[in-house]
Structure 1
Amino acid sequence: MTAYLIRRLFQMVVVVFVVSLFMFFLFNIAPGGPLTGLQQQQRRITPEERARIRAQYELDLYWPIRYTRWLIGWPQGPIVVGGQELFANIPVGCYIEATPEEGGGCHQYVYLADMPQLHPPARSSQGILFGDFGRSTVVQAGRPVWDLLMSRLWATVELQVISLALSLLIAVPLGIYSAVHQYSKFDYTFTTAAFVGSSMPTFFFGLLFILMFTILAGRIQEILPWWPVLPPGLREAVRPYDVASWLTRIQPGSALDRFLHLLMPVGVLTIVSVAAWSRFLRSSMLEVLRQDYVRTARAKGLPERIVINKHALRNALIPFVTVLVLQIPLFFAGAIVTETIFAWPGMGRLYFDALNRSDYNIALAFIYVTTILTVFATLLGDILYAVIDPRIRYS
């Protein structure tokens, strides 16, 4: 096991490095960025002003140089060995670009010796490997990215933990019962509902909930007086509001207010997860129930409850663990679509805003941390395989 863990850790480092390299490169060649608006008014600004803005966002440097500065915080200035500057005259970027009318190219290059003046160390990142993710450029300009991520993290964790717990409590019993009672009326009904739930996109359920419990709720109350009017977004209200005649006026920031704001986003995530997980567990249970050792356990006269829970379920959970451990990155990444629809102030909404407004420091930090959590989740899944099934051994 020790040799296997060392080998896997080395593979994880390689995977994270490759992913970070490719995502940084893709973000740099993607359209958009801080200069998108300036490109539409090139004739209104001087080349020096454009150069200053490029230097502010470090766009005057070539992308491999920006990548090493983003990853490890190097280079921050000239390389000095024995009192002599090495490679000081090597260009690392373009400071002033030539306009298309001038034939393109570069008027003035950035050299390694110029970097202390153009990129002061106080503003330069120390590198994400040292916990410095830089600063936000648009969403909350000047604020450290890590502080911004942590301010949104607990909203996402709250949403994901509640929906995960509800999904497990509903999906596991449904999947087991449907597999044990295959071809029954319940199984047909459950399979149809699960198929519909897993086929529909997440935003469909989100918009449907908002339509039923917010937009049309007043008309529905004329027929069903007990029908509630739920808040359509955010994490808490800003002013008192009414939900139904049978409930007192809700005060903003109260526990009941937070609970009501959770209902619709948690409901959407739970429906989607239950539909997918229950069908997956049902298929896994059906495969296990056909195995010889299950038939042998029944032939011995063991109670059906022991056959299902001890012999069948434990082996059926092995593939289900793969699906379950991959939910760990979602505790950080959040549900982008759901949080966007309900304006939930979590990580998914932050990532959407960062992409929409070209705040690449936030987007890169988001993907980098999610990648690390994903590779650790896969390692945890492999370890849990050995815990659930003693026959599995790693060497």
Structure 2
Amino acid sequence: MSKKEISIYILKKILLFLASIFLLSVIVFYISRLAPGDPLVSYYGERVEKMSPEEHDWAMEKLGLNESVSVQYVKWLSNAFRGEFGISYKYKMDVLEVISGRVGNTMLLGGIGFVLIFTLALLLGILCAWHEEKWLDKIICQVGTVTSCIPEFWFSLVLILFFAVELHILPSSGAYTIGKEKDTADRIQHLILPVTVVVMGHLWYYAYMIRNKILEEVRADYVLLAKSKGLTKNSILFRHCLRNIIPSYLSIMAISVPHILGGTYIVETVFSYPGLGTLAYESARYKDYNLLMVLCILTGIVVVVCNMIAQTINERIDPRIRQ
């Protein structure tokens, strides 16, 4: 590609990214405000029920909720361009401060889960491809299919019931015990059950994809040529087949980020883990508009960027996709 083509390609990606985020912000803004419920409950609590109509109108005006949705969006957008996203109705703090206190927990849980998923998925994919159609491959495929069909929220509850309620060996909620936020061992204990659910919920889906990619390479013509030259099965698989699936492997990793992030949000909610998933649930439940908007925009940015990375990798693998 020439420099001009590269510049046009990058410009198209940037415009697509901005258009996607803008469209997402419009959809979330309108749907959240048109949904039933009173946002004042999040800010004032039970006092809303005792407010007179005049006090209720004053409270709506104070939070800027008395104007039409379109006017509210224009004001929100103009403030967002200046880096002002408003305060959280529930926490009475700047939404960026609320999110900054939780984002580290989500990155820790999601990051550990992501690394474990793709490390184990690669190992399982290689193992199944090596023993294709043999008893070990069939057992792993059957067990993996069953585990991948188990809903994450149900699996979370089963683990909590067994390990926390019955055996009392692992905590059932939170990121750490009160007063032990700097205790690494305590944090690890609190991560075991959530990470287990995140990994088990996604592991086989990606392991099966990697298995199939390896088997596609194993059946390629160059493998027959390598066998005719006397190369061993071990050498063909690890020196040639695995090397050739690395671009596809990286593409799958990029595409999987939104999928795994969504699963992490669900797990956080079930385990009351103080991360972005719990915040997203609370902001949607309590009509905390400002917090919900920023969380949706951040999540949308991650999704769009990861999809673009995956598309770029696929275009490098097969330039015809760019057409």
Contact 1:333 1:347 in 2 (8 A): no
TM-score (norm 2): 0.87
Aligned residue number for residue 65 of structure 1: 71
TM-score (norm 1): 0.73
The whole-number CA distance in structure 1 between the counterparts of 2:190 and 2:50 is 47
Please list, as runs of the form range in 1=range in 2, the aligned pairs for 1:218-297 lying within 5 A after superposition: 229-238=169-178, 253-297=182-226
Residue 329 of structure 1 and its aligned partner are, at CA, apart by 5.1
Distance of 2:118 and 2:193 partners within structure 1? 18
1:155 aligns with: 105
Rounded to whole Å, the distance in 1 between the matches of 2:310 and 2:30 is 30
Structure 1 residue 361: Cα displacement: 1.0
8 Å CA contact 1:297–1:307 kept in 2: the answer is yes
The equivalent of 1:224 in structure 2 is: none
Tell me the distance in 2 between the aligned counterparts of 1:233 and 1:351.
17
**Offset of residue 55 of structure 1:** 0.6
Pair member with larger Rg: 1
**Residues 1:321 and 2:261 are matched in the alignment:** no
Amino acid at match of 2:12: R
1:6 equivalenced with 2:32 (yes/no): no
Kindly state the Cα deviation for residue 356 of structure 1 after the two structures are TM-superposed: 1.6
Please give the per-residue CA displacement for 1:350-381, whole angstroms capped at 9, x wherever unaligned: 11111121111111111111112221112222
**Cα displacement (A) at 1:309:** 2.9
Size of the aligned set, in residue pairs, is: 316
TM-aligned CA deviation for residue 267 of structure 1: 1.2
8 Å Cα contact 1:160/1:330 also seen in 2:
no
Once the two structures are superposed, residues 32-58 of structure 1 have per-residue CA deviations (whole angstroms, 9 ceiling, x without a partner) of 1325699x9999644321220111222
1:280–1:320 contact (8 Å) kept in structure 2: no
Q: Distance in 2 between matches of 1:14 and 1:262?
A: 37
Measured in 2, the distance between the counterparts of 1:264 and 1:33 equals 35
1:196: how far off? 0.9
Q: What CA distance in whole angstroms lies between the structure 2 residues aligned with 1:41 and 1:232?
A: 33
2:3 alignment partner in structure 1: none
Alpha-carbon contact 1:176-1:285 (below 8 Å) kept? yes
Q: Aligned partner of 1:207: which letter?
A: L
Give the match for residue 58 of structure 2.
Answer: 52
Query: After the TM superposition, which residues 1-395 of structure 1 pair with which residues of structure 2 at under 5 Å, given as runs?
Result: 1-35=6-40, 45-72=51-78, 127-138=79-90, 140-141=91-92, 143-217=93-167, 229-238=169-178, 253-328=182-257, 335-385=264-314, 389=317
Q: Aligned in 2, Cα 1:43/1:276: closer, same or farther, shift over 3 Å?
A: closer
Shift in Å, 1:283: 2.1
On the 8 A contact 2:174/2:271 being kept in 1, the answer is yes
1:384 Cα deviation (Å)? 3.1
Match of 1:326, SS? Answer: helix
Task: Flag the 1:394–1:45 CA change in 2: closer, same or farther, 3 A.
Answer: closer
Q: Distance in 2 between matches of 1:184 and 1:132?
A: 59
Q: CA separation in 2, counterparts of 1:355 and 1:214?
A: 28
Kindly provide the amino acid, as one letter, of the partner of residue 296 in structure 1: L
Q: Please, which runs of 5 or more residues in structure 1 have no aligned partner?
A: 73-126, 219-228, 240-250
CA contact (8 A) 2:202 2:260 kept: no
Q: Is the 8 A contact 1:333 1:370 kept in 2?
A: no
CA contact (8 A) 1:175 1:281 kept: yes
Task: Report if aligned partners of 2:129, 2:211 keep a CA contact under 8 Å in 1.
Answer: yes
With over 3 angstroms needed to count, the CA separation of the structure-2 counterparts of 1:390 and 1:336, relative to structure 1, is closer
Equivalent residues of 1:205, 1:268 under 8 A apart: yes
Structure 1 residues 333 and 365: CA distance shift in structure 2, 3 A: farther
Cα distance, 1:392 vs structure 2: 7.1
Distance 1:365 1:359 in 2: 11
Q: Give, in angstroms, the shift of residue 328 of structure 1.
A: 4.3
Bigger relative CO (Cα 8 Å, ≥ 6 apart) = 2
Q: CA deviation at 1:300?
A: 2.8
**How high is the sequence identity, in percent, across the aligned residues?**
26
Secondary structure (helix, strand or coil) at the match of 1:186 reads helix
Distance change >3 Å, CA 134–CA 298, structure 1 → 2: farther
Q: What code does the residue aligned with 2:87 have?
A: R
Superposition deviation, residue 303 in structure 1? 3.3
- Aligned-partner residue type, residue 134 of structure 1: G
**Gap runs ≥5 in structure 2:** 1-5
CA–CA distance in structure 2, aligned partners of residues 270 and 194 of structure 1: 12
Aligned letter for 2:29? F
Q: 1:267 to 1:42 in 2, by over 3 A?
A: closer
Quick check: 1:203–1:338 contact (8 Å CA) kept in 2?
yes
Find the residue that maps to 2:101 and give its secondary structure.
helix
Partners of 1:196 and 1:393 lie apart in 2 by 34
C-alpha distance in 1, partners of 2:49/2:207? 60
